[in-house]
Amino acid sequence: MLRGYAGKIWLITGVGLIARLALLGYEPLWRDEAFTALAVQRPLGSMIDVVRNDSAPPLFYLAERLFAVVSTSPAMLRLFPVLVGTAAIPHVAALGRRVTGDAGGVWAGVIGAVAPALFVSSLDARMYVLATTLVLASTLCLLRALERPAPMRWALYAATSILAVYTVYFALFAVFAQVITVAIVLRRRRPGTVVLVGALGATALVSLVPWLVAAQAQLGHSAGAFWVPRLSIDSVLGGLEQFFTGPPLNTWVTGFAALRALELAGDVTGCLVLVALVMNRKRLSSAGRQTAAVLSLAVVIGVGVMLLASFYHPLEDGKYLSTAWAPLYPLLGAGLATVPWRKAAVGAAAVTAAVAAGTALAITNPDTPAAVAAVTRMSGPPQLVTTYPSEYLLVRYYADDEVASRTRSIATSVPWFWGTAVYPPGAVMARLPQPSPGAGALWYVYEPGDPLPPGHAGYAVSGTRCWTGVCVTMLNPSGTGTPGGGTG
């Protein structure tokens, strides 16, 4: 097992796991991770209520809750995504091997280990890397079942597809793309197989019905406001670029210009590698060309249908597209294997790894722990800690029980996508309270660019401190002194 091709894949997978484990707790949590943390801390029934009123199926939360029993620290919350993200590496390798043989498998394994989108999502306590890995697994199971049909292989394909759609609804686009791809490729030679794959795809869809009945509240979200921008050339290019670079960077990230230049280099490198695969396609075996065609067609159909659906409801964010473009990772590895100059292939892989390292090592999430620590230790404890919705869940996660109990989200209305399903009763205040005689200061926690709270006219800003991606402002009732604070 430790020799030859298998040994190389084990080595690459091990290195990928170690790199991910080394960065488990490096970044502070971001808002959606805080939602995960607060949801899985609840009793099982209460957690399911939260999930069914939010926007996702329950599988990820059920699995994550097993880790939360041990701890809800950032490192423990991210351990499950790290493990399933590492499991993607041998799946990408197995698919790449079907295109360009052992060399393609090894290079695809390298891509699975260092691809920025895969690497960074493995360090995110959210469900997207699990969905990506399950789509890769279902794609591999489908190819194996098509090569040598057997009941167990078809059962594994159905099982991985059902698990994928119970992780992220967007996996339905990937399953749909698989069904249509098989129909296009095999409609004349194996019509019975086309019918079977269609039936298994329909089974994955029907399997969601019991959950959708329980989670009817989620259906109402489609008619409300949404955070993804309307479809445009810029939004499409920005969404698709995330395949090569991972999630977009906030402009306040230290070294933003250098990181952005590195990302652009990654874009160019990735595109050139795919061009190399197309130009060198004649070097592939007939089976390799057919596998490459199936993977390419599945990506084009899945991503294309999601973009078409975005005319109705915006979906072109990289997290949502990640399940549909999953089969493209092995094609990157196959492209590296076809590059005739080994140094060029190594250089392209190095650029990809550099983009992943730069994105993972830059502090891209708000440093809310520092902000909460400052609020806790400053003199003159406030009556109320207020936040913009962008920081509310983070403050509740990082604060102790005493501070969390007097923390409120200040907004005239808070859309569901801020994680309102996990808000406790009375969490939202439309305006700051009218200051009363002898009232103390209020803290306001927010991210750069967020507005001052409604109703702040009766208060004076007496001090502001900012850290990476988060600021704290002290608001004193007008005409009072400044009981602590400062500007920094």
Averages of pLDDT over each 10 residues, the chain, 488 residues: 85 97 95 97 96 96 96 96 98 97 97 97 97 98 97 98 97 97 93 96 97 91 75 88 92 90 96 96 94 97 94 88 96 96 94 96 93 79 84 96 92 92 94 76 90 81 90 81 40
Task: Kindly state whether residue 458 falls inside one of the protein's structural domains.
Answer: yes
Report the domain count for the chain.
2
**Dihedrals φ, ψ of 384, to 5°?**
-145, 140
Same-domain pairing of 335 and 390? no
Task: Kindly state whether residue 267 falls inside one of the protein's structural domains.
Answer: yes
| Whole-angstrom distance, CA of residue 444 vs CA of residue 182 | 55
Domain end marker among 345, 361, 377 = 361
Strand partners, 387: 409, 445
Task: Kindly state whether residue 484 falls inside one of the protein's structural domains.
Answer: no
Amino acid at site 137:
A
Residues in contact with 341: Cβ distance below 8 Å, sequence separation at least 6, in sequence order: none
Same-domain pairing of 378 and 357? no
Same-domain pairing of 85 and 104? yes
Task: Kindly state whether residue 228 falls inside one of the protein's structural domains.
Answer: yes
Same-domain pairing of 149 and 260? yes
**What pLDDT sits at residue 479?**
56
Cβ–Cβ < 8 Å for 426, 403: no
**What pLDDT sits at residue 1?**
56
Task: Kindly state whether residue 487 falls inside one of the protein's structural domains.
Answer: no
Task: Kindly state whether residue 428 falls inside one of the protein's structural domains.
Answer: yes
Same-domain pairing of 232 and 284? yes
Which residue range forms the structural domain that includes residue 469? 368-477
Same-domain pairing of 143 and 280? yes
**What pLDDT sits at residue 138?**
98
**What pLDDT sits at residue 477?**
84
pTM: predicted TM-score of the whole model, two decimal places: 0.94
302, 312, 321, 436 from 309: Cα distances, Å: 11, 5, 12, 52
Task: Kindly state whether residue 303 falls inside one of the protein's structural domains.
Answer: yes
Domain end marker among 361, 389, 414 = 361
Same-domain pairing of 229 and 285? yes
Same-domain pairing of 201 and 294? yes
Q: Order across the sheet with 407-410: list the strands.
A: 428-429, 407-410, 384-387, 442-446, 470-477, 459-467
Domain end marker among 304, 338, 361 = 361
Task: Kindly state whether residue 485 falls inside one of the protein's structural domains.
Answer: no
**What pLDDT sits at residue 485?**
39
**What pLDDT sits at residue 335?**
96
